């Protein structure tokens, strides 16, 4: 009994000492983090201001404890390979290696976050306010809806989510915005579903469309714009581009699951055979504080034809997939990634004086526009 107690005591002490000593000796190396976020930093210790230190240090320790990433990776593999479930409540495992983001995207697909009548009225009034302002400047307003992967590839979801067609926030927004005269609503759900026969349009381990999905979204957008601006060059057919295939590691959803290096995909890389778009000088608009995509807050391109209209696009990350094609049709294209707020951004509008103003909004983020009404 005495020997057993001694052994237990020694083991306990070692369990305490090994993680601490490893911080200095580094005899057990951890692997890199696959998480899609910045890890907490060691807080500064100040005797004159101790109140926030315990909370900040706890966050730091949770992100940096002994072989944390190896343990997290092992937990991910056990959940995915043994129990066939996601190791995080932020993601959903579908069929055939398809992964989906949950939260707003799943709720939107299932119709679980419908707006009430007051919110819908506020949304409509905000669209009208923006239309009236843009009309006063002689600028045409386009409201573009980018569908989530749920709306285009529901067939890869578990059967429990494929039982029926739901009435969603997107349907509500379409019903509301389509009644506002002078606003061109472009709902990309139909064209992307119809274009699935041409190839894979979204990445299985990411929530974004790929270059081919972006191309078919662009064709619909440009065809609709040309109804109002027929002088613009028609949509460029696919034979105008070099189309290559490249192998890449898993996308952002696999990264959420700490499994990025367990997923590999072949994605299309599409570029013009003859250059039609040039990067141009930025105006220097200031991005939101601590915005993770600061360098991409403002992106500017030209097509070398000064007779073409100018366009200003307020976008989210789905804008990356269309801007290489869209920019070829405008003398100047300015893209503002305003931290998923989808504001009107009056100072930028007044400085750029565009002929076309476009909101490109992922369908699960309409509430962001509501929260920023009047801005």
CB neighbours of 284 closer than 8 A, spacing ≥ 6? 298
- Among residues 272, 276, 270, 295, the alpha carbon closest in space to that of 285 is found at 295
Tell me which residue of 280, 293, 288, 368 sits closest to 332, measured CA to CA.
Answer: 280
Stretch 14-27: mean pLDDT: 54
Answer yes or no: is pLDDT of 83 > 60. Answer: no
DSSP-derived 3-state class of residue 189: helix
Q: Which is higher by pLDDT, 42 or 130?
A: 130
Number of helical (H) and strand (E) elements in the chain, helices listed first: 13, 11
Per the prediction, the chain carries an average pLDDT of 88
- ∠112-117-120 over CA atoms, to 5°? 85
Domain boundaries, the chain: 1-30, 99-371
Token pair 């580094």 is found at 26
Q: Which pLDDT does position 75 carry in this prediction?
A: 58
Short-list 349, 276, 271, CA closest to 313 = 349
Higher pLDDT, 98 or 86: 98
pLDDT in tens, 174-199: 999 999 999 999 999 999 999 999 99
Total-model pTM: 0.85
Q: What residues contact residue 99 under an 8 Å CB cut-off, 6+ apart?
A: 91, 92, 93, 204, 205, 206, 251, 253, 254, 257, 263
State the burial class of residue 350 (Cβ atoms within 10 Å of its Cβ: 0-12, 13-18, 19+): exposed
Token pair 């409509």 is found at 124
């Amino acid at each position: 009994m005495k020997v057993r107690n001694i052994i237990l005591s020694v083991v306990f002490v070692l369990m305490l000492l090994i993680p601490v000593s490893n911080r200095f000796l580094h005899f057990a190396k951890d692997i890199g983090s696959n998480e899609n976020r910045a890890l907490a930093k060691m807080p500064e210790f100040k005797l004159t201001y101790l109140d926030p230190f315990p909370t900040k240090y706890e966050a730091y320790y949770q992100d940096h404890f002994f072989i944390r990433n190896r343990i997290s990776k092992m937990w991910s593999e056990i959940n995915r390979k043994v129990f066939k479930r996601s190791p995080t409540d932020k993601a959903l495992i579908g069929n055939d290696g398809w992964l989906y983001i949950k939260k707003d995207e799943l709720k939107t697909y299932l119709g679980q976050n419908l707006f009430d009548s007051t919110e819908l009225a506020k949304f409509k009034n905000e669209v009208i306010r923006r239309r009236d302002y843009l009309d006063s400047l002689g600028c045409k307003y386009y409201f573009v809806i980018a569908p989530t992967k749920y709306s285009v590839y529901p067939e890869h979801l578990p059967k429990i989510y494929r039982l029926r067609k739901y009435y969603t926030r997107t349907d509500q927004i379409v019903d509301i915005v389509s009644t506002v005269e002078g606003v061109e609503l472009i709902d990309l759900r139909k064209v992307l579903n119809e274009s699935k026969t041409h190839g894979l349009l979204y990445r299985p381990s990411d929530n974004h469309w790929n270059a081919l999905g972006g191309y078919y979204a662009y064709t619909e957008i440009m065809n609709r714009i040309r109804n109002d601006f027929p002088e613009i060059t028609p949509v460029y057919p696919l034979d105008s581009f070099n189309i290559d295939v490249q192998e890449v590691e898993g996308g952002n959803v696999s990264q959420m699951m700490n499994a990025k290096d367990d997923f590999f995909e072949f994605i299309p890389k599409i570029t013009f055979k003859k250059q039609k778009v040039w990067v141009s000088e930025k105006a220097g608009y200031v991005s939101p504080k601590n915005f993770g995509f600061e360098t991409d807050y403002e992106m500017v391109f030209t097509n070398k034809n000064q007779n073409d209209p100018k366009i200003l696009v307020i976008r989210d990350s789905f804008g990356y997939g269309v801007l290489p094609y869209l920019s070829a049709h405008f003398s100047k294209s300015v893209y503002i990634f305003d931290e998923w707020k989808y504001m009107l951004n009056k100072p930028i509008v007044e400085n750029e004086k565009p002929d076309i103003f476009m909101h490109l909004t992922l369908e699960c983020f309409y509430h962001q526009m509501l929260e920023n009404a009047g801005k």
